[in-house]
Structures are given as C-alpha cells and as structure tokens.
C-alpha cells in the first residue's frame, strides 16, 4: 500500500537521529527518561552550559565532576569561598565565567530561594547568562520552545539554508530559521540534537554528510563546499606582546606568587611576579620589574596565545636565602602548586624555570 506521504519535517528527522545517536553526558537526561517526564536538574544544566561556553565537551567533563561533587546544589556553590571556586576553575580559561558563575549562584540562592528562573527572560537577567545560555537552559531544563543558537547550530543552519550573509551579521536571520524549525514537542531534545549534529556530523572540516539526517534537505550539499559555511567576516592579525616573569625559589623550596587584579585579563587569578605585557621591553634583559634585587638567571622564553594577542614571556629564575621580601605576595611550597589558581601561561613559566615543579 503505497500511500503518498508528506516528506518528514527536518525537526522529526533530527529527533529520530538523536534517539539513535544521542550521547550520554553527565549533565543529561536520556531521551527515554525525558519521555517519562524526567527533566535534568537546572543547576547541572546551567553549570554545564557555562562551562561549555567556548570550551569542548572533553575539557568540561572533569571540571563538571569536580564542581558537582564539591558543590552539589546552587546554594552550596553560593556559600563557597570565591577563591576555592577560582582554584577549581584554573585551567578552564575565560576566568570571567568563574566570577560570574559565583555571582549568579548567589543571586539564585539568596535572591530566588535557590530556584532557577524557568523562562528565557528570567534566566538572561542573571550574571554570565546571555542569549545562547538562557535559551539553552530554558529548552533543556524546562522544555521551553526557545531558539537555541550556538556555534554548532550556526553551522548546521548556514549549510542547510546556504546562508551567504557572513557572521556575526547573519545571527538574527539564523535565529529566526531555528525558531521556525523548533517543534512544539520535545524542544529541549531538539536543541540538544541540533548541537550534537553540529558537533559530530556537520563539523567545521570534513563533515560526514553521508550520515546526516538532513542531507536530502541541505541547500549546500552537492552545490558548494560545505566547509565554506558559515561565511565569516575577515579576522585581523594578532599583535605580539612581550614581558618578563620572575620565578623566585627560597631555601624551603617555595615559589613567590601573587594575585592579579579582579578584572581584566586573567582577573583574580594567581601569577608569578612580572612586568606589564607591552609591545616591546627595554633591551634583552629588563630586570626592573623583578620583585627584589637578586641574581636573576635568564632561562628562556615561553609563548602563549591569547584570544587577541600572542605573549612572549622572558622567564628568569633565582634562589633566595631569606623568607622575606614577599611584598604583597606569598611563598607557596612547590608540592602544593597544583591546588593554586594558576592559569596555563603561569604554569608554563614556572615549568620553564623549574622543570619538575609540577611533578609530571
């Protein structure tokens, strides 16, 4: 009995694909459970979504496990010591996320009775929650029909509709297309399915179009190279900045550390003393930024690439006799460096001066 039937809508194709291929992740509720009315804990959804901003699933997993073990509820996190939160976040990058995470937990715990808002608008009013994260939490935790648009979804819709407008100008057009696609039934699963599709099939390079549930609907496939989508505005070159870092070790085997200012680059994180990072430093050996006069030995440079500049740090080392001259810093025993709020660039500098400092 060959009845003519309407072609399946993209949303149905994606949901069917998701039911077969969804990934089990620590912050997720599987589709069969969700079908039984089980929703994931908004706290865990929020925490995972903030961690996943600009960060891969693989990198997030261990941090998510650590945070949910140490702070099982949003109220636990709100009561936590901010310094402990920064230490636990060290290595994940974009440290303003950690500061806003703590602020947001406090607002939810002490201003909303420990209950997350269940609407996009209510969520977006919280620190560290923008368009994407508000829509994602509303959809995933509360099954709201919100249009979830992240980098993965941008790729999927730009290819599906062959959008020629470059990002970021194309965002509103893309969001409207996602809104039009989003089904009344299972909007939370749909949002996760679209992001999974972009992460695993509709990838930036070498997409697996043969496996894509939307390949029959795709306006790019067969007409142009999918890798050329989404179109993007040209980006500008990264400038180079130079600086000096000073790794002082005392007789007890401790390293001199200090805390950076609360805002801006690596805000609130720990560092070794050093110079400002500017276009050029005076001469090959500028010791004027050293924390105290000493027999500073040059031990090479480390390079670290930030979002908008490349840093080349000249590293100096010295052994000091006393336990004074710490200034506004403190002496941290080498064996306990791992627990400090040290960003990756500072670990590189310390390792350059003292190869065994982190006991790899």
Q: Which residue numbers are catalytic? A: 49
Q: State both tokens at 154.
A: 């941008």
| CA angle (278 as vertex; 275, 283 as ends), nearest 5 | 75
Are the C-beta atoms of 10 and 217 separated by less than 8 Å? yes
User: Which listed range, 7-15, 111-119, 152-160, 180-188, lies at the site for DNA (CB under 7 A)?
Assistant: 152-160
**Does the protein bind DNA through residue 127 (CB under 7 A)?**
yes
**Does the protein bind DNA through residue 304 (CB under 7 A)?**
yes
**Does the protein bind DNA through residue 92 (CB under 7 A)?**
yes
Q: Which residue has the tokens 């089980």?
A: 38
Give the nearer residue to DNA in terms of CB position, either 312 or 334: 312
Burial code (b: 16+ CB inside 10 Å, e: under 16) for 335-356 equals eebeebbbbebbbbbbbbbbee
**Does the protein bind DNA through residue 155 (CB under 7 A)?**
yes
Give the nearer residue to DNA in terms of CB position, either 184 or 236: 236
**Does the protein bind DNA through residue 207 (CB under 7 A)?**
no
Are the C-beta atoms of 78 and 105 separated by less than 8 Å? yes
**Does the protein bind DNA through residue 358 (CB under 7 A)?**
no
**Does the protein bind DNA through residue 270 (CB under 7 A)?**
no
Minimum distance from residue 267 beta carbon to DNA (Å): 6
DSSP type of residue 226? G
User: Which listed range, 14-22, 112-120, 129-137, 350-358, lies at the site for DNA (CB under 7 A)?
Assistant: 129-137
Are the C-beta atoms of 153 and 178 separated by less than 8 Å? yes
Helix (H) / strand (E) element for 254: namely: strand 254-259
How far apart CA 200 and CA 203 sit, in angstroms, is: 6
Give the nearer residue to DNA in terms of CB position, either 57 or 80: 57
**Does the protein bind DNA through residue 56 (CB under 7 A)?**
yes
Minimum distance from residue 111 beta carbon to DNA (Å): 15
**Does the protein bind DNA through residue 65 (CB under 7 A)?**
no
User: Quick one: residue 93, left, alpha or beta (phi over 0 = left, psi -120 to 50 = alpha)?
Assistant: left
What residue ranges bind DNA (CB under 7 A)? Answer: 53-56, 58-59, 90-96, 100, 127-134, 150-152, 154-155, 198, 204-206, 232, 236, 264-267, 304-308, 343-345
């Amino acid at each position: 009995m060959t009845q003519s039937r309407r072609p399946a809508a993209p949303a149905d194709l994606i949901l069917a694909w998701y039911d077969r291929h969804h990934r089990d992740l620590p912050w997720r509720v599987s589709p069969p459970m969700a079908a039984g009315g089980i929703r994931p804990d908004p706290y865990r959804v929020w925490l995972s979504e903030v961690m996943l901003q600009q960060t891969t699933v693989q990198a997030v997993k261990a941090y998510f496990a650590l945070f949910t073990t140490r702070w099982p509820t949003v109220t636990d996190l709100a009561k936590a010591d901010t310094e402990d939160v920064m230490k636990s976040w060290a290595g994940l990058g974009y440290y303003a996320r950690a500061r806003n995470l703590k602020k947001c937990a406090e607002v939810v715990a002490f201003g909303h009775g420990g209950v997350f808002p269940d609407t996009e608008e209510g969520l977006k009013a919280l620190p560290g929650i923008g368009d994407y994260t508000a829509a994602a939490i509303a959809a995933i935790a509360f099954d709201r029909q919100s249009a979830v648009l992240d980098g993965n979804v941008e790729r999927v819709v730009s290819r599906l509709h062959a959008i020629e407008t470059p990002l970021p100008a194309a965002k509103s057009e893309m969001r409207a297309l996602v809104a039009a696609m989003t089904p009344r039934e299972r909007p939370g699963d749909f949002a996760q399915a679209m992001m999974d599709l972009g992460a695993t099939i509709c990838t930036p390079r070498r997409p697996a179009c043969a496996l894509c549930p939307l390949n029959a609907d795709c306006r790019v496939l067969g007409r142009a190279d999918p890798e050329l989508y989404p179109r993007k505005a040209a980006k500008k070159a990264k400038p180079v900045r130079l600086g000096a870092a000073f790794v002082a070790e005392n007789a007890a085997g401790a390293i001199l550390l200090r805390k950076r200012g609360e805002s801006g680059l690596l805000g609130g994180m720990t560092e070794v003393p050093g110079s400002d990072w500017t276009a050029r430093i005076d001469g090959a050996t500028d010791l004027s930024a050293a924390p105290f006069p000493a027999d500073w030995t040059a031990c090479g440079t480390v390079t670290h690439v930030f979002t908008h500049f490349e840093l080349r740090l000249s590293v100096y080392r010295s052994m000091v006799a006393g336990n004074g001259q710490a200034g506004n810093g403190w002496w941290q025993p080498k064996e306990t460096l791992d627990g400090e709020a040290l960003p990756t660039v500072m670990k590189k500098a310390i390792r350059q001066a003292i190869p065994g400092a982190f006991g790899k």
